[in-house]
Chain A
Amino acid sequence: MYRLRNRLIAAFVVSTILPLAASIWIASSLLDRSLGYATTGEVDRLSRTLEGTVRQFYQRERESLKLDATAGRVAPTHFAVADQSTWPEPVRAFWDSGEAERFGVSGPGGDHLDFLRKGTRGVEVFSRDLGGIHMRELSAEFGRTRALVGSIASRDLRRGFTLTLLLLIALVWLVSLVPLMFIAHRVSRPIQQLTAGLTDFAGGDWDRRIETSRSDEVGHAVAAFNHMAEQLRTNRDRIVYLAQMSSWQSLARKTAHELKNSLTPIRLTVEEMLARQPTADRAFMEQAAQIVVSEIESLEGRVRAFSEFASDPPVRPESLDVNTLVTERIALLKPAHAATTYHLRLDADRPRVYAGADPVKGILTNLLENAADAAGPGGTVLTVTRAAGDHIVIEVHDSGPGLSDQAAETLFEPTITFKKHGMGLGLSIARKNALVSGGDISVVDGQLGGAAFRVTLPAVGPKVRRHASPKPHGGDGGPEGSRDGS
């Protein structure tokens, strides 16, 4: 599941390893060259040479001083045994050493050479200026130089520099890998979610959606998936509904046919029975026959409704002015519901739909009549029209008691009625007509406290205008006609 992320990381690794290796190789080569210029060897040789030279000088000065002292050319400083407590430390150390004579340096920085000789009365110290040569300082500098040479000799600088370089580069590389892994995870995660969503959706989870807050290409892909899933689910529901309707229509057609076949002979037989009855029982028989015929007529009415429900009249889509249709339907219904108040909130742009005139009229008649029935005398019916993208919305609200949850669930199923009159097929037919026209009907929250239905129908668009042919019936003469027609 992490293949994309791993590939991104692998791409980074592959694309950085070669430049890194080249950088290391170049740095190592430069390092090698720079170490080749190191002067440690020269310093080593020079210090040894200087040491030998200074030692020769020192030995010569020693011999010279001793000769001068022996020849009496240099006056000694006497340190008497009687004054031993006042002797300087070098003199006392020499006296205690058991040596007969000793040389040493004295003075600031060791710029004097001393020759110490034991005598019978004490110690004689012959001293000579070394002409500004500071032996102690030379000794200290020699020691520092040798320490430096020794320190370098005890190290493999090439290895040290190379390992340090490798270590630092590896550290930087690893540190840069951490944010890359984070970024790779961030980039691949929504794609991973999208893949999982598509897999689930393909597996039958029609409610699967993906949440994202991104606005880049991946975010657009996720939004497109969500939209596509919603569209597919809606269309699936519509197809299922239409399939159910088709089954119900088939059943209604057969039932109507069978009932009609039975009802006609029954009616004729009853009438014949009435005609052949003696005069004495005629009054009773006429009354009985009237009851039977009345029930048969009622059954025939239902059969007609079934037949109408089962019929699939051809739909001829055309450009229709919705506002005009709504106004016209209300004007037709008003006489039957004189005590009902009708409010209109119609879109001023006079929206037009591309649908069959008869189905749309049927839908509006059904919804408005239902609303008027539900609102009752003194009630109110509100009709709203407006454009919504590439669809036109028509809403019918009533001030009636509203719909129960049970009613809302089975509202569009045929043969179910909650009214005293009617067959309970009207809403089923209305929704079927809406679906066939490329729209739908749904229940929405009512603005008047009662029920409310929303009809969506395809708006007239450029494509429709281009392909549709003008129709003389029910509209304004076709999609190319004036919006002010009808």
Chain B
Amino acid sequence: MLRVRSGFGFIEGAVMDQLRDGRSVRVDFALTVLHAPRGSMIAEARQSFTLSFDVWEERIAVTRIGAPTRSVSHLRPRDAEAWCLESLAVARSELSQLTRDTPFWIRLEYTLPDVVSDSEADETLTIRRLIDVLSRRPKDVETGKSVESGPFRLSD
């Protein structure tokens, strides 16, 4: 299995504020193995997580979405980030076209899908919906990030 150990911090800033406010946050990860920087894809792993925050213990709980579902709680932000990355892996079998010395690049990206509230999901044209749409401020929250790194070799 190909895993990324040292990733990047994403439980911080607006995401952390949202968690502290008692709201859950969904994070979609994609780990892509490339032939070259911004090159063609060799293999890819995708995984989504839901983060929540225990307001009184000030610890984070993470749930991996999809089968098999796994949850872990009482984590500090860095531990939660590490657990997410640990759960994201590309199977060795998918890298069969790579020899031990073939260089490859890895792109790790995450996105924070916009959580759509019930009122926002409702597409019925009402005055309330009109006010809701016309009063929205542009969101300045970072909704994702992508990091590409390499070259790596299986022999490393």
Contacts and interface: CB of A to CB of B under 8 A. Distances in A.
B78 to A, nearest CB: 15
Contact of A155 (B18, B21, B135): B135
Given A102-B74, A143-B22, A143-B23, A54 B56 contact: yes
Contacts of A342: none
A26 interface: no
Interface stretch (A157-165, A195-203, A465-473): A157-165
Interface string B17-59: 0100111000000000000000000000000000000111100
B25 to A, nearest CB: 12
B23 A155 contact: no
B116 interface: no
B1 interface: no
Interface in A124-148: 135, 139-140, 142-144, 146-147
Contacts, number: 73
Interface of A: 51, 54-55, 58, 93-94, 97, 99, 102-105, 135, 139-140, 142-144, 146-147, 149-151, 154-161, 163-164, 167-168
B132 A160 contact: yes
A163 B134 contact: yes
Nearest to A102: B74
Interface residues of B, number: 22
A97 B71 CA distance: 12
B55 A156 contact: no
B74 A155 contact: no
A154 B131 CA distance: 13
A338 to B, nearest CB: 97
A159 B22 contact: no
B127 A147 contact: no
Contacts of A104: 57, 74
The 8 tightest CB contacts between A and B, nearest first, are A160-B135, A143-B22, A146-B21, A155-B135, A163-B134, A160-B134, A58-B56, A160-B131
B87 interface: no
B131 A161 contact: yes
27 contacts: A54-B56, A55-B56, A93-B72, A93-B74, A97-B74, A104-B57, A135-B56, A139-B55, A142-B22, A142-B55, A143-B22, A143-B23, A143-B55, A146-B21, A146-B22, A146-B23, A147-B23, A154-B136, A154-B137, A154-B139, A156-B135, A157-B135, A158-B135, A159-B134, A159-B135, A160-B131, A160-B134
Contact of A99 (B18, B21, B56, B74): B74
B67 interface: no
Given A164-B127, A164-B130, A143 B137 contact: no
Contacts of A103: 57
Given A93-B73, A139-B56, A151-B117, A168 B127 contact: yes
A401 B72 CA distance: 121
A294 to B, nearest CB: 107
Contacts of B18: 150
Q: Is the interface of B mostly helix, strand, loop or mixed?
A: mixed
A237 B131 CA distance: 73
A476 B68 CA distance: 127
Interface string B107-147: 00000000001000000000100111111110100000000
Contacts of B127: 164, 168
Contact of A156 (B56, B72, B130, B137): B137
B130 A147 contact: no
Contact of B22 (A54, A94, A147, A151): A147
Interface in B57-107: 57, 72-74
A155 B56 contact: no
Contacts of B21: 143, 146-147, 149-150
A102 B57 CA distance: 9
A161 B57 CA distance: 40
Contacts of B135: 155-161, 163
Nearest to B18: A150
A149 B22 CA distance: 12
B145 to A, nearest CB: 21
